[in-house]
Structure 1
Amino acid sequence: MPVPTPNLYPAFNTVRLSHVEFGVRDLARSRAFYVDTLGLQVTDEDANTIYLRALEERGHHSIILRKSDRAEAKELGFKVYDEENLDRAAAFFAGKDLPVSWVKRPYQGRTFLTRDPQGIPLEFYAKMDRLPPIHQQYSLYKGVKPLRIDHFNCFSPNVDEAVAFWNEIGFRVTEYTEDAESGRLWAAWTHRKGGVHDLAFTNGTGPRLHHTAFWVPTPLNIIDLLDLMSTTGWLANIERGPGRHGISNAFFLYIRDPDGHRIEIYCSDYQTVDPDLEPIRWDLKDPQRQTLWGAPAPRSWFEEGSVFAGAALKESDLKATPIVAP
């Protein structure tokens, strides 16, 4: 089995994924997508930036939209357990000869920037401003009724190497796709918070951000979103789904924002809290891997993603081919 033994006692304790910043070219258009259509809540905004949270989130933001000349993804944000673990995290990355720079971020406490060995830009912090709960303010539930950010998925030029590094810092594999011919990982799903994943890796030119996912209450909310998007000018932004994944068992829909950043709407996966939970293996050629119902993904899903600011791209060295929709 190509998956490393879980590291249950990493150098520092990461609680979960937290947030991501997108560079967007038309802030008003992006606001119409994320706020008016998806239903995320604005926590602050000015002429250049919009901060958003979902309905169950108490932290100040999980999405930052910043006006930019270039559509790109900035740092992926992760929350650590406390200030001591933040210092341990900084020491860990510095010890790997990876860049560590302390920065000031609005609405966050001490924060440092770094990159993983493949070049994904990262941001770690322990404290973010807390906001009053709104999960029972049902008048705010609009669009797809997004409850919380769930995971990131990144294109990786070498999934084995990506998984080995993130396993070292305590991200445990729940499911994985193996290329039977080479015996290597083609994709893997890793978590900290007890769902199927906080961070997943898909084979491809990278590092690039494949998608950011939001958890919603039920599959019916996804159907409602499809009706809304198809009748309010967003039909072309529906990319894939709805459907049920074989991997994760989740009900899903993939959509694209005005700049092409991919968002997954997601619900109904399963709990993975037990530290000795065995990962589930899938073969790359299994037609139920992508979708339990057997429908393959379009070519865009395997080839298109958001570039990371300042990251040099590298072609994948694993040429295995998944099942692609005609």
Structure 2
Amino acid sequence: MTHHDKTLTSSGFYVSQEAPIHADDPIPTPTAPAPDILRCAYMELVVTDLAASRVFYVDILGLHVTEEDDETIYLRSTEEFIHHNLVLRKGPIAAVAAFSYRVRSADDLDKAVAFYTELGCRVERREGGFTKGIGDSVRVTDPLGFPYEFFHATDHVERLSWRYDLHTPGELVRLDHFNQITPDVPRAVNFMQSLGFRVTEDIQDDEGVVYAAWMRRKPTVHDTAMTGGDGPRMHHVCFATHEKHNILAICDKLGALRRSDAIERGPGRHGVSNAFYLYLRDPDGHRVEVYTQDYYTGDPDNPVVTWDVHDNQRRDWWGNPVVPSWYTDGSLVLDLDGNPQPVVAREHSSEMAVTIGADGFSYTRADDERDALPEWKQGEAAPAAPAAPSEFKLGNQL
């Protein structure tokens, strides 16, 4: 991370104006214009046990069923007016079949075809859509290996915001974002910028290695993020609530149902995005985030926030540890024939490997302030790094 063009804030991160990100092996930018993407719209998940998934997403999380049959369930959150924002489809392998985006007009589907065809990507178009409730659609396997969909036409359904009789204490109100795992984050971000995405936040080190980046089309912190790791895989799909107490209600419900083992991480507050969060794992291991209270990013000069990878408050503002599975696990993604995409190993440093907080208690003081830590948190010096605090292990790591 170079600091000459970044301003250090009183909160401990840096801000700067967005610039095209450098990639060692960039994907060529097509001469064809990119489609005008409005927002992330829905994800199609393949699940191996449809009944168990229905219990998790409908009975526990409270998503609303638009339609269902023996093979597929179409779900939506409270504020959604399009047919669905999550599809659960029964299949032999748990995976992601589509990251779907709504575009501004039908003409943008022609642009999507031209844009990805110029890149040499496989492109399929169906006038009747790939799922119920969605019209003319384009699906592609993008240069990063992810299955993307673009559509404009959709069936409208009732927005249930006024149906308080249907709401639960942990009501999920909208689809907020996707998060994708990719081996080369700068290459991925550079490509997404050519598709019209804007960077809002990222994580870097002093050598300029980019560990993750958050990008948006709608005026929030992100519609998708690129997380460094073995990929292409899906890290998580995220639904928003109105308030923090909704997330706490979900935790209480899981505890009451003796389903607390579905909680992977949290609740807590992110440094990145400033959002309150909870990470869950569904019966197939797909990761679902529940999230609230990020910030507006819609102005053209919205500053990019850059976090130092060694700042243990970047992932959790309170300095709580990140469980290793959160860094290592992800869902497979499918090609357009329904086959799992091969996973390529990340060659750059792992974020988990460079962060003490990933393995135990976080240390949020500056180096020259560590003596001020209470003795119970200092521990004994780790053998490999006698000058550093020891790595307190979580229970499942002992």
**Distance in 2, Cα, partners of 1:231 & 1:100:** 46
**Distance in 2, Cα, partners of 1:107 & 1:237:** 30
SS at match of 2:81: coil
Match status 1:43 vs 2:66: yes
Give the structure 1 partner of residue 148 of structure 2. Answer: 122
Larger strand percent: 1
Cα distance, 1:201 vs structure 2: 0.8
> Matched residue pairs, number?
324
Match status 1:28 vs 2:51: yes
**Distance in 2, Cα, partners of 1:130 & 1:319:** 45
**Distance in 1, Cα, partners of 2:280 & 2:136:** 34
Cα distance, 1:321 vs structure 2: 3.5
Larger radius of gyration: 2
Match status 1:155 vs 2:181: yes
Q: State the superposition RMSD in angstroms.
A: 1.7
Give the structure 2 partner of residue 60 of structure 1. Answer: 83
1:198-277 correspondence runs (5 A): 198-277=223-302
**Distance in 2, Cα, partners of 1:5 & 1:314:** 25
SS at match of 1:288: coil
SS at match of 2:273: coil
Match status 1:317 vs 2:347: yes
**Distance in 2, Cα, partners of 1:129 & 1:39:** 22
Q: C-alpha offsets along residues 256-291 of structure 1, whole Å, 9 cap, x if unaligned? A: 001000000000000000112120010111011001
Percent of residue pairs bearing the same amino acid type = 41
| 1:206–1:143 distance in 2 versus 1, CA, 3 Å | farther
- The answer as to whether partners of 1:14 and 1:80 remain within 8 angstroms in 2 is yes
Which residue of the other structure, out of 168, 172, 175, is the alignment partner of 2:201?
Answer: 175
**Distance in 1, Cα, partners of 2:351 & 2:85:** 34
Give the structure 2 partner of residue 142 of structure 1. Answer: 168
**Distance in 2, Cα, partners of 1:284 & 1:218:** 28
Cα distance, 1:143 vs structure 2: 5.4
Give the structure 1 partner of residue 307 of structure 2. Answer: 282
Give the structure 1 partner of residue 20 of structure 2. Answer: 5
Unmatched 5+ stretches in structure 1: none
1:90-105 correspondence runs (5 A): 90-103=113-126, 104-105=129-130
Could you say which structure has the greater relative contact order, defined with CA pairs below 8 angstroms and 6 or more residues apart?
1
TM-score, length of structure 2 as denominator length: 0.79
**Distance in 1, Cα, partners of 2:230 & 2:20:** 26
